[in-house]
Amino acid sequence: MKKNSAFGRFFTFLVFLFLYAPIILLIIFSFNQNNSNVVWGGFSLHWYRELFQNRIIMRSLYTTLLVSLLATVISTIAGTFAAIGFYGLRRRARNALTTVNNIPMMNADIVTGVAMCLFFVAFFALWKDFALWFNSVQTLLVLPTRLTLGFPTLLIAHITFDIPYVLLSVSPKLRQLDKNLIDAAQDLGCTWFQAFYKVILPEIKPGIVSGALTAFTMSIDDFIISYFTAGSSSSTLAMTIYGMTKKRVSPEINAISTILFVTVILLLAVINIREARLEKMAQRRQAAPSATVAEMAGQKPHRTPFLAKAAAAVACAAVLVTAVVGAFQNTRQPVVNVCSWGEYIDEELITQFEEETGILVNYQTAESNEALYSLLKSGAGDYDVIVPSDYMISQLIEEDMLEKLDYSSIPNFSLIDDRFKNLPYDPTNEYTVPYTWGTVGIIYNTAMVTEPPASWSVMFDDQYAGNVLMFRNSRDAMATALLYLGYSLNTTDEAELRQAAGLIADAKSRGVYQAFVMDEILQKMEGGNAAIGAYYAGDYLSMAENNPDLAFVVPQEGSNWFVDAMCVLKDAPHYEEAMAWINFIASTEANLRNMDFIWYASPNKEALEQYPAYYEALYEEELDQETYETMAAPAEVLERCESYVSLPTETRRLYNELWIGLGIQ
């Protein structure tokens, strides 16, 4: 018996450990001094300060709360009335409808999300035709022809998936009601509405409250459906956190998760304590039934003073009105929708731009050029400004997906170094303003390798099998193999490409690769989980900040040097704002700050030259020459490097085929 209970206790302990260990770890690291989740650097509230200054998190928190509150209020009202409607139906119809109502809850979120996205896009297309026709037949009212995904669609989606939950928790309460309750109230002098308000609502209130709470939780919690319906102009907390985790789990996320966790725990505690107290009161009331009339009349149980009720109502109304007005103001304010890469900007620049111009920046991130491309093709990514890499730019130009820029509105373009103008991807420089440039190389952990690698061969040797990280995108991964084999990384020769793919496949089958990764590499290399990895120089510098054992080399065979440039999508709804943004980012000051923040080299001539001085002024120490050269590769390194050009369609198809053949998701 005793042995059993000890075992049971141990088992319980294990369960709780599994449940809470990750959360505890997260909470601990939210107080970490440095920006790693692996290395403890001392206690600090630094990340909480950062959190409240992080405008992207704060704005998405605002969006999340607003959409959740509005969706909760609307779906609770709608769901309650729907439940009452169901209740009035005959049993067979009611059962059928209840089943229909339950399906969305069991349905995979991804299906709901995609379906909603498709529905909205289809509706927008229809709307465009209608609006064009409507505008052509009359002149009194001009309807907008271009609708996009945004806060309204997000709200509609949230209301839609919240309603079933409200229905689900209100319906049983209604079914428990005495059928004559409304009759009884009317019999005692109530009109139908009084009966509903004074009797039915209070009787089903517990169901409504729990329905509203469930709806709110679902809204706050939702990621997938939001992801497909929020469009480019709004993003919820979950979406932002997801975007931020692409590179590494920033301690800011730990901080906000800790706050969320504590809030929920507190809420639960309040609700439980309240319930326990109510129960106790009910028991006491039963125990002492012989209260006098005077007491009863004097005490007026169950009646909140009128003033308190009114105050609560006014407060609720005020919150809602502010929220809605805020939302409308947001929509009237000029905006620009930007899609870039994770941790690819000093966010203070966004704030500064918004303050200077009054233009709101909706800033989102994509994982890779390929992911961005498919997002654009699906029609869901209605951004104004994107920051793709060179080869993707030429592909987009080829497919007529970019708008020409108005260089007269971008005076700062003149500050761009001439070597980054008229590059092969945009030979006449009509579409782009360079954002950053850099090289690809091998990052290695000096503590884990026997000698510093100098050749791409380490990516394919058994020497570090199981400790090598390879790119998870076809172009970069193939480039490493092509370079090692001594071919051009822009080759269109099928035999060469097949040989390169064979090389990777062979290495993969021998277990050389620990994983195929993108931004996850930062986490892995910083934590010392892998010895070798191929990645971008700028990111290496970020990693090196957290793990001084790391080193970087541009292999002797040469490498890729790349340019990421800002472009504007065809028919961008905020063209002028986009020009203002591009001009702002191209300025010397913005380039210096970005360079300092993301460690990628600037194409701005002044900024590139001034950076060592800027660094010294800021940190009061000299910038290490090696660091600077890693960032901005010197001429002799660049000589070895080649930039990507857009590949012909059949080659791209071959890339796809080979990549799929490798079996990497």
Partner 1 sequence: MSKELIRLSDCVVKFDDEIILDHLNLYINDKEFLTLLGPSGCGKTTTLRIIGGFQKPTSGDVFFDGRRCNDVPPHKRQVNTVFQKYALFTHMNIFENVAFGLRIAKTPEAEIARRVEEALELVNLPGYGKRRVSSLSGGQQQRVAIARAIVNRPQVLLLDEPLGALDLKLRKDMQVELKRIQREVGITFIYVTHDQEEALTMSDTVVVMDKGNIQQIGAPEDIYNEPKNAFVADFIGESNIIDGTMPEDKVVKMYGRKFPCLDGGFAPGEPVDVVIRPEDIDIVSPEEGQITGTVTEVTFKGMHYDIIVDFQGFKWLIQTTDYSPEGARIGVKIDPDGFHVMHKSAYSGKFGDYSSYSDEYDELNVDAEAGLEGDDEEN
Residue 140 in contact with partner 1, rule: CB under 8 A: no
Residue 180 in contact with partner 1, rule: CB under 8 A: yes
Residue 121: both structure tokens together: 């896009």
Report whether 163 contacts 75 (CB < 8 A): yes
The residue from 135, 186, 351, 488 that contacts partner 1 (CB under 8 A) is: 186
Minimum separation from the CB atom of position 295 to partner 1 (A): 8
The residue from 2, 92, 179, 332 that contacts partner 1 (CB under 8 A) is: 179
- The stretch among 185-193, 234-242, 345-353, 429-437 that binds partner 1 (CB under 8 A) is 185-193
Residue 277 in contact with partner 1, rule: CB under 8 A: no
Residue 69: both structure tokens together: 């509150």
Residue 183 in contact with partner 1, rule: CB under 8 A: yes
- The stretch among 13-21, 49-57, 126-134, 295-303 that binds partner 1 (CB under 8 A) is 295-303
Cα–chain center distance at 255? 16
The closest alpha carbon to 35, from 248, 275, 305, belongs to 248
Residue 302 in contact with partner 1, rule: CB under 8 A: yes
Minimum separation from the CB atom of position 188 to partner 1 (A): 4
The closest alpha carbon to 646, from 339, 431, 381, belongs to 431
Minimum separation from the CB atom of position 86 to partner 1 (A): 17
Three-state DSSP class for residue 435: strand
How many CA atoms lie less than 13 Å away from 380 in the CB half-sphere?
25
From CA 549, how far away is CA 446, in angstroms rounded? 5
Residue 282 in contact with partner 1, rule: CB under 8 A: yes
The residue from 289, 305, 548, 663 that contacts partner 1 (CB under 8 A) is: 289
Minimum separation from the CB atom of position 217 to partner 1 (A): 25
Q: How many CB atoms lie within 10 A of CB 325?
A: 10
From CA 51, how far away is CA 62, in angstroms rounded? 13
Residue 174 in contact with partner 1, rule: CB under 8 A: no
Residue 65 in contact with partner 1, rule: CB under 8 A: no
Report whether 538 contacts 438 (CB < 8 A): yes
From CA 145, how far away is CA 156, in angstroms rounded? 20
From CA 538, how far away is CA 653, in angstroms rounded? 30
Residue 301 in contact with partner 1, rule: CB under 8 A: yes
The residue from 17, 269, 276, 296 that contacts partner 1 (CB under 8 A) is: 296
Minimum separation from the CB atom of position 213 to partner 1 (A): 19
From CA 271, how far away is CA 265, in angstroms rounded? 10
Residues 530-559 that bind partner 1 (CB under 8 A): none
From CA 615, how far away is CA 633, in angstroms rounded? 17
Residue 203 in contact with partner 1, rule: CB under 8 A: yes
Whichever of 49 and 198 has its CB closer to partner 1, that residue is 198
Q: Are strands 433-445 and 561-569 parallel, antiparallel or unpaired?
A: antiparallel
Residue 294 in contact with partner 1, rule: CB under 8 A: yes
Strand partners, 365: 340
Residue 305 in contact with partner 1, rule: CB under 8 A: no
The residue from 28, 115, 181, 485 that contacts partner 1 (CB under 8 A) is: 181
Report whether 656 contacts 496 (CB < 8 A): no
- The stretch among 282-290, 399-407, 569-577, 650-658 that binds partner 1 (CB under 8 A) is 282-290
Whichever of 143 and 190 has its CB closer to partner 1, that residue is 190
The residue from 121, 154, 185, 595 that contacts partner 1 (CB under 8 A) is: 185
Residue 196 in contact with partner 1, rule: CB under 8 A: no
The residue from 194, 263, 304, 322 that contacts partner 1 (CB under 8 A) is: 194
From CA 33, how far away is CA 41, in angstroms rounded? 5
Residue 106 in contact with partner 1, rule: CB under 8 A: no
Q: Give the DSSP letter of residue 527.
A: T
Residue 184 in contact with partner 1, rule: CB under 8 A: yes
Whichever of 141 and 293 has its CB closer to partner 1, that residue is 293
Three-state DSSP class for residue 546: helix
Residue 515 in contact with partner 1, rule: CB under 8 A: no
Minimum separation from the CB atom of position 287 to partner 1 (A): 10
Residue 622 in contact with partner 1, rule: CB under 8 A: no
Taking each continuous run of H as one helix and of E as one strand, the counts in the chain are: 27, 10
Residue 92 in contact with partner 1, rule: CB under 8 A: no
Strand partners, 198: none
Minimum separation from the CB atom of position 191 to partner 1 (A): 6
Q: Where are the beta strands (DSSP E) in 416-556?
A: 433-445, 468-471, 513-517, 532-536, 550-553
Minimum separation from the CB atom of position 152 to partner 1 (A): 37
From CA 422, how far away is CA 445, in angstroms rounded? 38
Minimum separation from the CB atom of position 522 to partner 1 (A): 57
Residue 42 in contact with partner 1, rule: CB under 8 A: no
Residue located via tokens 């992207």: 56
Q: Is 528 left (phi over 0), alpha (psi -120 to 50) or beta?
A: left
Minimum separation from the CB atom of position 38 to partner 1 (A): 54
Residue 279 in contact with partner 1, rule: CB under 8 A: no
Kindly state the number of chain residues that form the binding site for partner 1, as judged by CB under 8 A.
34
Minimum separation from the CB atom of position 300 to partner 1 (A): 8
Q: How far apart are the first and last CA of the chain?
A: 51
Residue 275 in contact with partner 1, rule: CB under 8 A: no
The closest alpha carbon to 72, from 171, 206, 210, belongs to 210
- The stretch among 199-207, 225-233, 362-370, 616-624 that binds partner 1 (CB under 8 A) is 199-207
- The stretch among 69-77, 283-291, 380-388, 493-501 that binds partner 1 (CB under 8 A) is 283-291
Burial level of 20, CB count in 10 A (0-12/13-18/19+)?
exposed
The residues binding partner 1 (CB under 8 A) are 178-181, 183-191, 194, 198-199, 202-203, 205, 282, 285-286, 288-297, 301-302
